[in-house]
Structure 1
Amino acid sequence: MTMLETERLLLRPLTGEDFDDYAAMLADPDVASGLAESVGTSPADAWRSLATFIGHREIRGYSHWAVVEKATGSFVGRAGPWQPHGFPGLGVGWCLARRHWGKGYAAEAGRAALAYCFTELAAEQVISLILPANARSIAVAERIGHRYLHDTEYRGQSVHVYGQQRPT
């Protein structure tokens, strides 16, 4: 899987070596509660989630990357393209450890993932599913150029669908 680099971030494939940082991120209830894909906060839940993203990469050839701060080498979170079984289209998503919120990293990683979807995956449309109460993620979606499209049900939850067409 391709690695991407932005001004401040390195987006590289998630690996088992990310588990401790990944589990610490998902152990934060504020982080876990914002995810449209319900994830628990236990280490076992984090293991399954990490394995899902790594498996998605094996099946689809793309998945969320580990987001790493270039200046420090710190694990920031995950972001990238996503289309598991039952997902209503090619999506991009992001999840950051709370200590990295408010730095613009989600939008930076989201823009890189969006560009990857349009250029490397030849997507005509890219979406993001966002819980209605997740104002921070809605703001990120809008910063990367997504617009509200409609609401839908996904895995038993009502979610907003944000997205955009391939630029002309």
Structure 2
Amino acid sequence: MAELETERLVLRPLAGADWDDYAAMMAHPEVAAGLAEGVGRTRDDVWRNLAMFIGHREIRGYSHWALVEKATGAFVGRAGPWSPHGFPGLGVGWCLAREHWGKGYASEAARAALGYCFTELAAGEVVSLILPGNARSVAVAERIGHRHLRDTEYRGRRVHVYGQRRPG
């Protein structure tokens, strides 16, 4: 899986060495509560979640990247393409550490991931699942060109499906 760079971020494959930063990010109640995949906040839950993203890369050949701030080298969060078993299409997702919210990093990383899906993965459509009431993620989805397509059930939760077709 290729490493990408944006104006302010390096997007590199998630690795076991990200464990401490990842666990700290997921321990924040607002972070975990906003995720459509319903991740728990215990260290065991977070361990399985990180392993799931790394394993997804092994199975599919792509997954979320670790987001690293160029200026400081700080772990910012994760974002990238996503299509686990049962997911309604090729998705793009994002999750940022609470202290990095409001800086535009989610939109920057999601835009890069969306481009990767269209160019490298030849996707015809890319979707993002968002929990009802998650206005911040809706704003990110709309900034990258997604529109509300429908609602569905995913892992026992009602979610909004935002997405878009390949340009052109």
TM (norm. structure 1) is 1.00
Aligned residue for 2:145, secondary structure, equals: coil
| Count of residues in correspondence between the two structures | 168
- The amino acid across from 1:34 in the alignment is G
Distance 1:167 1:161 in 2: 18
In the other structure, the counterpart of 1:79 is: 79
Determine if the alignment matches structure 1 residue 7 to structure 2 residue 12: no
In the other structure, the counterpart of 2:103 is: 103
**Structure 1 residues 93-151: Cα deviation after superposition (integer angstroms, max 9, x where no partner):** 00000000000000000000000000000000000000011100000000000000000
Aligned residue for 1:126, secondary structure, equals: strand
In the other structure, the counterpart of 2:150 is: 150
Unpaired runs of 5+ residues, structure 2, are: none
Distance 1:115 1:132 in 2: 26
Distance 1:7 1:138 in 2: 22
In the other structure, the counterpart of 2:90 is: 90
- The amino acid across from 1:123 in the alignment is A
**Structure 1 residues 53-81: Cα deviation after superposition (integer angstroms, max 9, x where no partner):** 00000000000000000000000000000
- The amino acid across from 1:39 in the alignment is V
Aligned residue for 2:118, secondary structure, equals: helix
- The amino acid across from 2:111 in the alignment is R
Determine if the alignment matches structure 1 residue 31 to structure 2 residue 31: yes
- The amino acid across from 1:153 in the alignment is E
Residues 51-60 or 40-49, more deviating: 40-49
- The amino acid across from 2:160 in the alignment is H
Distance 1:5 1:153 in 2: 34
Aligned residue for 2:59, secondary structure, equals: helix
In the other structure, the counterpart of 1:40 is: 40
Distance 2:56 2:28 in 1: 24
In the other structure, the counterpart of 1:161 is: 161
Aligned residue for 1:129, secondary structure, equals: strand
Residue 42 of structure 1: how far off its partner (Å): 1.0
- Listed as ranges, the matches of 1:36-75 within 5 Å are 36-75=36-75
